[in-house]
């Protein structure tokens, strides 16, 4: 039974996830690239580490961080970073090498439903990936590295992230001439991101890829207009589509079935 967890990347998801795991009785180690954040992690009860990831993992007490049973890799590729398509897989490869050297038992890799691209259909974990940006192409290569690393692994393809400090009502407030009004959104609330990870620890299911996405898919116009009103901001203006917008609808049936997971926030209209 896993009791020691290291989270590489204690940001929007990693920090509240670490706090939840602490409450559940896990020993949690967390990394950050920001020196000022070390005291925040420590105050929360998380053993803090200042680490950087390039072609190698660098920082103090690296061995202590990787002395863990489960490693959660939660460092998304930066969309506009030069050479991210090759840089990001190199970063993940460096992390996996450290994990192997230190005898880590299992890996949870946080990926994205962006790997599917817009296929104009419902996508499942069996749908061939069609990444259409450099960062999502890098994610696909990183996923392959995780699957071939020789350790127990699970990959969580998370949809658009909302909740916590990410207030969706602020994303498009006051903007005009926005496209794709009729496109269905694929989103997941922070609470369910944490919930799925916790369920995976309680009910390990290695060697699987899971989509982590809310069940309902309101249109882009309906969702963002509603969320902007909740924030008391100016509702965005969307263009009237002349042709159907490209889209995908991400299915969450596998995670509900295999992990017996019930989404706490299944409808983005009520995020």
Q: Please report the pLDDT score of residue 80 as a whole number.
A: 87
Where does residue 17 rank: exposed (0-12), middle (13-18), buried (19+ CB within 10 A)?
A: buried
Neighbours of 96 (CB within 10 A): 23
Q: Please report the pLDDT score of residue 89 as a whole number.
A: 98
Q: Report all structural domains of the chain as residue ranges with CATH numbers, in order of start.
A: 4-164+187-216+247-270 (3.40.50.720)
Which tokens in the block code for residue 170?
């602020």
Q: Report d(CA 77, CA 93) in Å as an integer.
A: 13
CA angle 157/158/161 to nearest 5° reads 165
Q: Which conformational region is residue 252 in: left (phi greater than 0), alpha (psi within -120 to 50 degrees), or beta?
A: alpha
Q: What is the pLDDT along the chain (271 residues), one digit of tens a residue?
A: 899 999 999 999 999 999 999 999 999 999 999 999 999 999 999 999 999 999 999 999 999 999 999 999 999 999 889 999 999 999 999 999 999 999 999 999 999 999 999 999 999 999 999 999 999 999 999 999 999 999 999 999 999 999 999 999 999 999 999 999 999 999 999 999 999 999 999 999 999 999 999 999 999 999 999 999 999 999 999 999 999 999 999 999 999 999 999 999 999 999 9
């Amino acid at each position: 039974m896993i009791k020691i967890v290291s989270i590489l990347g204690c940001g929007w998801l990693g920090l509240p996830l670490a706090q939840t795991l602490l409450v559940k009785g896990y020993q949690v180690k967390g990394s950050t690239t920001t020196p000022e954040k070390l005291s925040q992690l420590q105050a929360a009860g998380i053993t803090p580490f200042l680490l950087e990831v390039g072609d190698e993992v660098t920082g103090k007490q690296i061995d202590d961080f990787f002395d863990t049973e489960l490693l959660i890799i939660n460092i998304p590729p930066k969309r506009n970073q030069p050479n991210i398509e090759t840089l990001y897989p190199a970063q993940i490869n460096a992390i996996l090498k450290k994990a192997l050297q230190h005898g880590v038992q299992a890996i949870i890799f946080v990926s994205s439903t962006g790997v599917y691209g817009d296929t104009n259909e419902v996508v499942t974990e069996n749908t061939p990936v069609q990444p259409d940006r450099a960062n999502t192409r890098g994610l696909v290569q990183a996923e392959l590295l995780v699957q071939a690393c020789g350790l127990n692994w699970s990959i969580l393809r998370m949809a658009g992230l909302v909740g916590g400090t990410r207030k969706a009502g602020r994303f498009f407030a006051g903007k005009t001439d926005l496209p794709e009004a009729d496109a269905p959104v694929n989103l997941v609330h922070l609470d369910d991101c944490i919930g799925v990870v916790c369920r995976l620890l309680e009910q390990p299911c290695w060697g699987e890829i899971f989509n982590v996405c809310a069940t309902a898919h309101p249109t882009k116009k309906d969702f963002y207009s509603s969320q902007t009103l909740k924030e008391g901001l100016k509702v965005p203006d969307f263009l009237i589509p002349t042709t159907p917008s490209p889209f995908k609808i991400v299915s969450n049936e596998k995670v509900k079935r295999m992990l017996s997971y019930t989404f706490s926030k299944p409808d983005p209209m009520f995020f």
